[in-house]
Structures are given as C-alpha cells and as structure tokens.
Chain A
C-alpha cells in the first residue's frame, strides 16, 4: 500500500509525509512521482505535527452510522509547517489561520487525526 507509512504513522502517533529526494518538494497525499519535478524517488519523513488551518467545517449530517454518534464534528484542512496539506478532525471553534498541533484518536478501529489549537 502506497500510503501505509502514513496510516501506520497515525497508529504510532506520528504524522508522516513524502519528500522528493531530487528536488526536495514535500508532497500532499501519497504519490508515485513528485508533483513538482516528476522524479520517482520519494522518501517518507516524520513531520513536527504543527500546522496552520486553511479550511474548516462543522459536519452536522454524518454520512454513515459510524459517524452519527460524533456529529456535529469539526473537520479541517491544515498545512503542515513542512508544506503538505492534511484533512483531519479538530476541536470545536477552530478558525482559519489558527496555529494547531496534531493529536490522534481512535474511531471504529481506525486511527485518525485531531488538531488542537496551540495558543
């Protein structure tokens, strides 16, 4: 699985991302080739876990029974300090532009991200 280092990382409490060994570009999501230069030598790195919120929503209508008990829940897209972007949960009240730190929780047997405000 291409994204196994990321999903394994969530279970171990670490955020991982790919960086191109040729041009240094940090990748969003898991890829087979660098989004900037096309080189295929991508290496996984551990991120510091600190990030800035780019987008935020509160989901009132959960898409499945698995998530109905959590609703309403906050989802965000953040930009890690290293550059890649990630989707995850967040504590209520988080705002765009806010500095956050990655935390982890388990839901229905899966490790997920939950970002909390640093300030």
Chain B
C-alpha cells in the first residue's frame, strides 16, 4: 500500500489589477509566475508541471507551452484549461490531483491577460457574450450582464431579496479593495451610490457589475510546504449541470451546493470549521446566490449577514478581503484566481496591512459561464 501524498498550496502572488498598458498576457503571466516562484522558494528547474488559463486577447493553441518557452520552464506535464470563471479553481483542483497521484511535485498554476487594454470594450463584451447559446441566446443582443440580470430577476422573485440587499456586497467589496494597494477600484462607494448607478441590465446597475481589468495571478501546488505556513489542499469538488442559462433547471440548485458538499465530504470538515471565504463575485447577485447555495447564509439571508458585519475583515467569516472581482478587478482567469491567492496570503500571514487574524480553514468557490461550472476548494493551515 502506498500513501497518497498531500498537496500543499506552497506560494502565491500576482500583479496589481487595473491598466497595464502595452503588456501582453505572457508578460503579465511572467510577472505573476516570477513572484509565485519567489514566494514558494523554488527555482525554475523545480517546476515539473504547468497549468495555464486561457486569455481572450491571445487565443493561442498551446498557451501553456508558449508561456513555458518564454519564461524558461521545461515541465514534464503541461496544458491549458478553459472553464470560464471557474478555470482557476479547476486548475488548482487538477494540480492537487497531479501531486496526489505522484505525477508532479511542483505545479505552477498561472493565468493573466490584458483584457482591458488589449482590446476594445465592445470586443471584450462580445467575446464574453459567446458563453450564451449561439442560436437561442446570443442573437437576441444578450450579454453576460443580461444573462446574470435574467437570473437575478428569477432569484429575487423566488426569494424576495432586493436590489438594496445586493448593494451590500458592492459596498463591502469596495471597502476591502480600498485596503489593497493592487486593487483596480479603490474609491469608497456608498449604498446609495450603488442603487443610483447607471442601469446596465435591470436589476443590475454599473456598481453591481465587476470591471474589466488587466492583470495576472500565479500559485504553486507542491508535494511539500514551502517557507510559509503549511496550507494543505484538504478537499475539492465540482458540478456541471448546464452550460446555458436557458437550460438551468433550478435557480435555487445551480450546482454550487453539490460542488461544496463534495469538497466538505472529502476534507472531513463542516461549514462551522471555516473561518475565511473566497467566493466568486462577477456580479453582486453571484455572491448572494453562491453564499446561500453553499450554505454560508440561509436562503435570502446573505445580505442580513453582510449587514451584521459577519463577512467584514473583522467579522466571523471574512469574505474576499482583497475586494473580489467587483473591486479588486476581473481580468478573466486570473480574476477568479485572486480569491485563492488572497486566501493563501491571509492564511500564511502575508497580507501586509490588511492582515486579519490568520484563518485556519478557507472555503473557495468559483463559477464559470452563467452559474454553469462550479468548483469548490477547502484549504487548511496545519500547524
């Protein structure tokens, strides 16, 4: 009998999010990877696996090995991955399996792109809209905000949550981003400003939506912990129940709960054991729905917990202390990875001035498409 190796989140880092004029996806990925190697105390030659996220501004057939050549890596295992916003969490889950299987000892997980400055805003919005069905949805002039707005309208109708409830999350994410020097949007906003911001797709206004950013993130999953606190990847789970919004069977059970249940079962932990949350937040509705379906708030109760301060950095369950996609920013795959990078930083006491009491156990969740692909991860600091 051989023992299954443990996979550790050994190090992580990334670039600021915002404008990186003149820098392409590979440049940004290189910046993040260089810092993640330093954080992990590893040299290029130690990296034997590379997983890389797609970049809409560089739709290359072999992005992972293109990156390896440019960055000076010669891994024994490499490929790209495409799972929308869930790509980062799914790559971390796959890296964990590669380490547990004994295939790799140090897997670099990296993504980045110049989604803001590398293309026009219309081009970016058009590219993203193609997650809709090409014959049934996209031809209607739908966009990602429109898909999420449609979903929000049904969820709000079924649960009774309001625009004022959703606005709580926009304000909280911005307050967190103000404390992060690398965040894209750092001007404080009020609840009233969220409600009065420009309509995008009813019920969502501008401040319910994440910005489009440039940036990159990288993490190293390893067979051994590094120089920082040992953060074990204790559990993971996925669920993929539909691709298109029209085909979502039940807005109350989109797959997030199923992915979370697998992760908790694998980790042998319960929600009460968790003291940090990194939850995907492309829109305010995303955050409310995911918190409720994964069981960190009762149905229609996420905003009540936010108002009570539970999700604040000083609360019982700090949430996205970097500011999330809503305010730290969203540059595609790396946007979804930033939640895991921040969880690692807080657990490893590497969060600088915004350091909270170092969390012991973090729950990470990401969705891709329109709540289509779900990945949950559980991290545990072992000391």
User: B70 on the interface (CB 8 Å rule)?
Assistant: no
> Given that A63-B129, A96-B154 are known contacts, is A57 also in contact with B149, CB under 8 Å in the complex?
yes
B246 with A67: CB separation less than 8 A:
no
The A27-83 residues at the B interface (CB cut-off 8 A) are: 28-30, 35, 54-67, 70, 72-73, 75-77
Residue of B nearest to A2 (CB): B135
> Given that A63-B126, A75-B146 are known contacts, is A55 also in contact with B137, CB under 8 Å in the complex?
no
B150 with A64: CB separation less than 8 A:
no
Residue of A nearest to B243 (CB): A29
The B115-149 residues at the A interface (CB cut-off 8 A) are: 122, 125-126, 129, 133, 135-137, 139-143, 145-146, 149
Indicate with 1 or 0, residue by residue over B177-206, a CB within 8 angstroms of chain A CB atoms.
Answer: 000000000000000000000111111000
B135 with A7: CB separation less than 8 A:
yes
Indicate with 1 or 0, residue by residue over A1-14, a CB within 8 angstroms of chain B CB atoms.
Answer: 10100110000000
User: B35 on the interface (CB 8 Å rule)?
Assistant: no
Q: Which residues of B contact A88 (CB under 8 A)?
A: 140
> Given that A57-B201, A77-B150 are known contacts, is A63 also in contact with B247, CB under 8 Å in the complex?
no
User: B153 on the interface (CB 8 Å rule)?
Assistant: yes
A57 with B146: CB separation less than 8 A:
yes
In the complex the two chains form, what is the Cα distance from A58 to B199 in whole Å? 9
In the complex the two chains form, what is the Cα distance from A64 to B127 in whole Å? 11
The count of chain A contact residues (Cβ–Cβ below 8 Å) is 39
> Given that A57-B150, A96-B154 are known contacts, is A62 also in contact with B141, CB under 8 Å in the complex?
yes
Q: Which residues of B contact A72 (CB under 8 A)?
A: 199
In the complex the two chains form, what is the Cα distance from A54 to B248 in whole Å? 12
In the complex the two chains form, what is the Cα distance from A59 to B361 in whole Å? 40
User: B95 on the interface (CB 8 Å rule)?
Assistant: no
Q: Which residues of A contact B133 (CB under 8 A)?
A: 29, 87
Q: Which residues of B contact A6 (CB under 8 A)?
A: 135-136
Task: From A28, A61, A107, A113, give the contact of B201 (CB < 8 A).
Answer: A61
The B147-165 residues at the A interface (CB cut-off 8 A) are: 149-154, 157
A112 with B198: CB separation less than 8 A:
no
Residue of A nearest to B136 (CB): A29
Q: Classify chain B's interface size.
A: 20 to 34
A59 with B141: CB separation less than 8 A:
yes
In the complex the two chains form, what is the Cα distance from A55 to B157 in whole Å? 9
B150 with A75: CB separation less than 8 A:
yes
B143 with A87: CB separation less than 8 A:
no
Task: From B153, B157, B203, B247, give the contact of A29 (CB < 8 A).
Answer: B247
Task: From A57, A59, A66, A77, give the contact of B246 (CB < 8 A).
Answer: A77
User: A89 on the interface (CB 8 Å rule)?
Assistant: yes
B151 with A55: CB separation less than 8 A:
yes
B129 with A75: CB separation less than 8 A:
no
Q: Which residues of A contact B153 (CB under 8 A)?
A: 55-57, 96
In the complex the two chains form, what is the Cα distance from A1 to B141 in whole Å? 21
Residue of B nearest to A107 (CB): B141
User: B256 on the interface (CB 8 Å rule)?
Assistant: no
B140 with A55: CB separation less than 8 A:
no
User: Shortest Cβ distance from B151 into chain A, in angstroms?
Assistant: 7
In the complex the two chains form, what is the Cα distance from A7 to B146 in whole Å? 22
In the complex the two chains form, what is the Cα distance from A86 to B323 in whole Å? 35
The B243-273 residues at the A interface (CB cut-off 8 A) are: 244-247
Residue of B nearest to A111 (CB): B139
> Given that A63-B122, A63-B126, A96-B157 are known contacts, is A85 also in contact with B150, CB under 8 Å in the complex?
no
Residue of A nearest to B157 (CB): A96
Q: Which residues of A contact B141 (CB under 8 A)?
A: 59, 62-64, 66-67, 70, 73, 75, 107
In the complex the two chains form, what is the Cα distance from A24 to B122 in whole Å? 42
User: Shortest Cβ distance from A60 into chain B, in angstroms?
Assistant: 4
The A77-112 residues at the B interface (CB cut-off 8 A) are: 77, 85-89, 96-97, 107, 110, 112
Closest CB pairs A-B (n = 10): A67-B141, A63-B143, A57-B149, A55-B154, A60-B199, A55-B150, A3-B135, A58-B202, A96-B157, A55-B153
- Can you list 17 A-B pairs, Cβ within 8 angstroms, ordered by A? A3-B136, A6-B136, A29-B136, A29-B246, A57-B152, A57-B202, A59-B200, A59-B201, A63-B125, A63-B129, A64-B141, A72-B199, A75-B141, A75-B201, A77-B150, A77-B245, A110-B139
